[in-house]
Amino acid sequence: MSVIEEDDRETARFPGQRPPRASVGSHRIEEEVFGKAYDPRTVRRIWAFVKPYRRKIYLSVAAVLVFTATQLAIPLIIGRAIDSGMTEGGNHTNLLWAVGMFAVVLLVNYGASFVQETQVGKVAENVLFDMRRAMFAQLQRVSLSFMDKTEVGRLMSRLQGDVSSMQEFLETSVISVGDMVLLVGIIVVLLTLDFRLGLLTLSTMPVLFIVRIFWLPRAKRAFWAAHETNSITAGAMAEGINGVRTVQNLDRQKVNFDLYDDKAYANLQTQLTGSRYAQVMVPIVDSLTGMAMAIVIVVGGSLVLNGSLEIGVIVAFIFYIQRFFDPIRSLTMQYSIMQRAMTSGRRITEVLDVPASITDKPDAITLTRDMDGSVEFRNVDFGYSADRPVLKNVSFVVKPGETVALVGPTGSGKTSAMSLVHRFYEVQSGAVLVGGHDVRDVTQESLGEQVAMVLQEPFLFTGSVFDNIRYNKVSATLDDVIAACKAVGAHDFIMRLPGGYDSVLEQRGSNLSLGQRQLLSFARALVADAKILVLDEATANIDSYTERQIQKALVTLLQGRTGMVIAHRLATIRGADRIIVLQNGELIESGNHDELMARDGLYAKLYNMNYASFDDIPDELVAQANARAANT
Amino acid sequence: MTTDKAGRVHSRGDAQAHVAAAHAGKGQSPLLRITLYSLRHPWRAAAAIGATIIASVLQLMIPRLLGHAVDQAQGILSVGAEGAEQALFWSAMTLLAVSVARGVFTLCQNYFSESVGHHVGYELRLAFYDKVQRLPYAYHDKVHTGDLITMGLLDLDGVRMFFSTGLVRVVLLSVLIGVGAYMLLSTDVVLGLLALSFVPFVAWRSSVAQLTLRATWIVLQDKLSALTRVMEENLGGIRVVRAFSAQNFELAKFEAASEAALELSHERVGIRVRNTSIMTFSFFAAMGLVLWIGGTKVIAGEMSVGTLASFLTFMTILQMPVRQLGMMVNSFARASICGNRLFSFIDEPISIADKPGVPDLKVSKGILRFEDVRFTYPGATHPTLDGVSFEAHPGQTIGIVGAPGSGKSTLAHLIPRFYDVSGGRITIDGQDVSEVSLQSLRRSVAVVQQDSFLFTTTIENNIAYGDPWSKETKIERAAESAQLHNYIKGLPLGYDTVVGERGVSLSGGQRQRLAIARSLVLKPAVMVFDDSTAAIDAGTEHRIRSAIRRYAKDRVTLVISHRLSSLLHADMILFLEDGRIVESGSHEELLAKGGRYRALYDLQTRPDEDIHFGSAAQ
């Protein structure tokens, strides 16, 4: 739901010209915000998170009730103090009693408010963190197919925004119990003190309710619009900062400034509207308060004059009236908070309910270092969806210590085959065996320890170089890490960084070149010291110096390990013990370089085209080579 | 010029005036500067302050009126029941009128003070945005984007809200406490002092609480962003996490970050609760004392019940504003810190700007000359470029090679003045690039960067980024030359497909091709490809090159590349080493020379033959 219409003023903003093909910033329209205020299923799920803290919740609800009672009592005590202690010549004893009562109530009030606020605040924080932990833990388990199609930003907004609105809801809901009780309490007390006067005074209350009913939906829309334009403006600003080099490069400052001005100006307008909506309630509430007081003075005053009402009651009434409208105000607000919380709750449960499709069997065995390090594909069929097969009846064996290069045009299924060794996905039929065991029969954790993986895009974490290379192998010492870095040739450039191994990598290593990041990810795999290495060679062009270093590092990395390499560089391919050629998900050729050349199939055709890398070969040429290979 | 919904006129000139105004007041203390800046809206500010004073005075009348009515109800102030009821009626009407008026003036107080804040926010945003766009590369190199974004959002808010949460509140509290105290003390000194006794204590606690909460808030933000980072990197790098079976390791990392944040959150709850409870307590304690001593006075006949009631109601009225005094103190502290940061950003001198009165660059032939160009990055000791000279004529392609760090990209960045040379000069048709207007220069020089930034908007808008008024056919031609047209046509939404962070994600090669198309839309005299084909396969690159050749006839093309095959057709290749040109000539000449270029060529065409993996168990 978007209240903001795309700015049609942009047309007019560039006088005498047709509208530019330009915009600044982008804005994701937020998902449904005002849904149902109560959804039993969601509430049940949320309750599961609150349940561990239910004693504390009960305690704080009790404290809220006590606190509210003391608030109700204070005007009463003042009224009593006046009536029994001060009128008709006064009574010191009664006054002292009343003051004594006041002191007791005051202490109870202090204790209750302390308990209530501490408990509610902490429980709400705990629940927030618990929910986030549960979601995060679930995301560690869910299948990669889910992660593949879900945007990180979307998940992050659930891990942050949605849990915060749940927290807000929890905090306010206990308080609104208090508000409810206070409202009822005030009504009861007023009617008990004097029924007629109470009824008359309370007659102002429904007016506020009615006004709020009309005001709320409009105000909510205005507040929402203000919120939206604000984030639109913020987004445009962030884009201006992130893309500043390109902006200057292409000399877009003027156009951008004008477009930004439009957004900022639209934001100014919605903020002012929002502000108007918020403030318009002030005189209404004040007038109603004045009205109620006027009633008390005129009606109550004449009752006192006839002697049918005591003056203390009037004073008590005045005190109650001042508190009167607060609960109505916060209760109506609570409704929106509940709506938001239900939507958030539903989104949170959606994440929690994503099935973890790949799980360990109950009797899964632990893969140990003693296994032989072989990899076998046995009649493997695989696809991300049932109707689109990616691998078709693929069978091959990689012997212990052997290095096999997987080659083939884009889309031939190389990357998928590699993912299966690590059981990122489940095969549809057939089996993948590691060390002679079906990957489905071993624990995922032990499989991960024995199969190291180097991805095409090196991914580094924020943190020191040392932490990145050691990663989850916490037993590795600095010496181990240094040894690994020396082995892959990363040591020298690491030592040139200002802090050496303690240098912190900014923003996932953006202060390093791609080649350097690649070398670090090699070192990480080396430290992991697995028996099998699965590696997806980078396709991006790296400068020749680093490239050479990477080639050398590869040799080191594969020493004494079984290797499966998705190879793009001819040098890597030629260096492999065996080459497996995949095409359209089928294994079409297998053998070493000389054998395949002798065979004169697709591999030989592609090789003879003399490109530095198979990926450089244009699609048409691949198709031609295919056709020729098919003819032979 | 446009009109908004309310019919007011909003013109471009206003926006420029706001930017100019933000630069006034350099050297003033931040609080003074914010105040003066806010007073640029004199009518709104005056309305806010006037309404605040009136609303506070009206509010102070209410306890008096109530007390009066209480006394009237007891028949103290009038003779006879008739007169008393009459008097009560008029008291009630006065009270009602005062309440309504108070409500209206409070509305004005809040609305106008917020309105000043929103206007200040709007204007400062413009000034901030303008400054971001003007500061040169060298500035953006040293300041984190995240810090800038924080400054533009949070610091700006701190400054913007100073008027309403700081200044107006000072007025409010001064009137309420000042006039209120005068009224109470002039009625009864002892009781007045008792009624006000909670004020200093609550003011003190509230200030301490707010300042502590703010200090811990900043720490909490750090901890929360650490937590965010853990989650984001985990999800973004999920394949690495899975590949190393590091789920438990990641959970532990999350747990640690989470614990740290949770602990601090609990601490903050503690700080808040301790202070609010004690504030309420002291308030009620003072009220109890007023009830006791006042009650005794009433019994002694020194005071009426109505006066006592007015003391008590006065206290309830004063309670909230006094409790919020801490927020006011905090607002001053925040505005001072935020204002300092924001204004020093706005005052930051712009090192690369037009010299006064410089002419536009006039391109007649388009000859690019480097004359003994030297360049050292700010803060660096070693020069990045050290005496580079060459000349390039229209239609020529100059290739630049060299090891990483040899100064290739820097050379490219000097031409459009992303940085200024430290020595020597760069000329286009004899005009020193620093002696012409930046706008005309940058329109004549297009640099396609290696890591180009795509904007989250349609493909069409992205290609037209440098010339938003270019025709559709021009855009499509550029895309065709960049070998991207067919891909775009294959997308369901074609050129209207949104790309970038929140749209279709493009591969590295596609992004580079889009960046190339973006530059082809322009008609620059000098075009630089700064390693901008690294992620494009050689075949496609070749096709792009032949397509571009049509454009290249009347311009200088500089190609920086690691891939020597990209440079084969260059008219001249410069080999850079440590900021100096060590070899230059055509491909054939350089090969024949048998120097560094030759060595690099051999490295690329005949990679190590001795590479062999593993100890194969064949």
The predicted-structure confidence for B454-503, as pLDDT tens digits, reads as follows 888 899 999 999 889 888 999 999 999 999 998 898 888 899 988 876 56
- Paired with B448 in beta bridges are B529
Which of A127, A527, A562 is closest to A375 using CA atoms?
A562
Does B560 touch chain A if contact means CB atoms closer than 8 Å? no
Residue that is written with structure tokens 């949170």 in the block: A348
The domains of chain B, with CATH numbers, are 20-347 (1.20.1560.10), 368-605 (3.40.50.300)
Read off the amino acid at residue A533. Answer: L
Backbone angles phi, psi at B557, to 5 degrees: -120, 125
Binding-face residues of B in 461-480 toward A, CB within 8 A: 461, 464-466, 468-470, 475
Q: Is the dihedral of CA B226, B228, B234, B236 positive or negative?
A: negative
Q: Cα separation of B194 and B291, whole Å?
A: 10
Which of A348, A328, A3, A362 is closest to A182 using CA atoms?
A328
Reported as a single tens digit per residue, the pLDDT across A510-525 is 677 778 888 898 899 9
The DSSP string of B494-548 is GGG-BBSTTSBPPPHHHHHHHHHHHHHTS--SEEEEESTTTTS-HHHHHHHHHHH
Identify which has the larger pLDDT, B118 or A173: B118
CB contact under 8 A, B245 and A445: yes
Among A263, A447, A544, A615, which would you mutate to test the B interface (most chain B Cβ atoms within 10 Å of its Cβ)? A544
Residue A380 has, within 13 A of its CA and on its CB side, a CA count of: 32
Q: Cα separation of B317 and B303, whole Å?
A: 21
Residue B168: CB partners within 8 Å, gap ≥ 6?
B48, B49, B52, B109, B113
Instruction: At A416, list the tokens.
Output: 């998928």
What sections of A367-464 are H helices per DSSP? 414-421, 444-450
Reported as a single tens digit per residue, the pLDDT across A591-602 is 988 888 888 888
Which residues in chain A have their CB less than 8 angstroms from residue B460's CB?
21
Which residues in chain B have their CB less than 8 angstroms from residue A425's CB?
none
Instruction: At B203, list the tokens.
Output: 């003011």
- Asked which of A323-337, A516-530, B205-219, B324-338 is least confident by mean pLDDT, the reply is A323-337
Reported as a single tens digit per residue, the pLDDT across B215-226 is 998 899 889 888
Q: What pLDDT shows up at residue A632?
A: 58
Q: Determine the distance in angstroms separating the CA of A241 from the nearest CA of chain B, rounded to an integer.
A: 6
Cβ atoms of residues A273 and A222 within 8 Å = yes
Backbone angles phi, psi at B178, to 5 degrees: -65, -60
**Exposure string (b/e) for B587-610, b if CB count within 10 Å is 16 or more?**
beebeeeeebbeebbeebeebeee
If you count residue pairs, one on A and one on B, with CB atoms under 8 Å apart, how many are there? 495
Binding-face residues of B in 563-602 toward A, CB within 8 A: 563, 565, 600
Does B262 touch chain A if contact means CB atoms closer than 8 Å? yes
Q: Please say if the pLDDT value at position B445 is more than 90.
A: yes
Q: Cα separation of B515 and B451, whole Å?
A: 9
For residue B72, the chain A residue with the least C-alpha distance is A301
Instruction: At B437, list the tokens.
Output: 């207007």
pLDDT above 90: percentage of residues in chain A: 32
Does B437 touch chain A if contact means CB atoms closer than 8 Å? no
Q: Please say if the pLDDT value at position B535 is more than 50.
A: yes
Q: Please say if the pLDDT value at position A11 is more than 70.
A: no
Residue that is written with structure tokens 């060529």 in the block: B601
What are the domain boundaries of chain A? 31-193+334-357, 195-308, 375-631
Among A66, A244, A252, A555, which would you mutate to test the B interface (most chain B Cβ atoms within 10 Å of its Cβ)? A244
CB contact under 8 A, A577 and B272: no
Q: Cα separation of A611 and B605, whole Å?
A: 10
Which residues in chain B have their CB less than 8 angstroms from residue A83's CB?
none
Cβ atoms of residues B446 and B527 within 8 Å = yes
CB contact under 8 A, B261 and A129: yes
Ranges A158-162, A169-173, A465-469, most confident: A465-469
Q: Cα separation of A516 and A511, whole Å?
A: 10
Q: What pLDDT shows up at residue A9?
A: 37
- Where does the pLDDT of residue A33 fall: very low under 50, low under 70, confident under 90, or very high at 90 and above? low
CATH number of A375-631: 3.40.50.300
Q: What pLDDT shows up at residue B5?
A: 47
Among B12, B79, B94, B99, which would you mutate to test the A interface (most chain A Cβ atoms within 10 Å of its Cβ)? B99
Q: Is A581 helix (H, G, I), strand (E, B) or coil?
A: strand
Which residues in chain B have their CB less than 8 angstroms from residue A74's CB?
284, 287
Instruction: At A84, list the tokens.
Output: 């029994």
Reported as a single tens digit per residue, the pLDDT across A229-271 is 998 899 899 899 988 989 999 899 999 999 999 999 999 999 9
What mean pLDDT, rounded, does chain A reach?
A: 85
A41 CB neighbour count, 10 Å cutoff: 11
The DSSP string of B456-498 is SSBHHHHHTTT-TT--HHHHHHHHHHTT-HHHHHHSTTGGG-B
Q: What pLDDT shows up at residue B7?
A: 46
Q: Please say if the pLDDT value at position B2 is more than 60.
A: no
Reported as a single tens digit per residue, the pLDDT across B316-344 is 888 888 888 888 998 999 999 999 999 99
Q: Is the dihedral of CA A17, A19, A20, A21 positive or negative?
A: negative
CB contact under 8 A, B404 and A543: yes
Does B90 touch chain A if contact means CB atoms closer than 8 Å? no
Q: Cα separation of A465 and A177, whole Å?
A: 52
CATH number of A31-193+334-357: 1.20.1560.10
Q: What pLDDT shows up at residue A194?
A: 92
Q: Cα separation of A452 and A624, whole Å?
A: 36
Among B1, B140, B242, which would you mutate to test the A interface (most chain A Cβ atoms within 10 Å of its Cβ)? B242
Q: Please say if the pLDDT value at position A199 is more than 70.
A: yes
Q: Which of B153, B240, B538 sits opposite A234 (nearest CB)?
A: B153
- Where does the pLDDT of residue A499 fall: very low under 50, low under 70, confident under 90, or very high at 90 and above? confident
For residue A296, the chain B residue with the least C-alpha distance is B92
Q: What pLDDT shows up at residue B617?
A: 38
CB contact under 8 A, A287 and B466: no
Q: What pLDDT shows up at residue A379?
A: 93
Which of B479, B472, B165 is closest to B330 using CA atoms?
B165
Residue B435 carries which DSSP code?
G
Which residues in chain B have their CB less than 8 angstroms from residue A403's CB?
613-614, 616
Q: Is B560 helix (H, G, I), strand (E, B) or coil?
A: strand
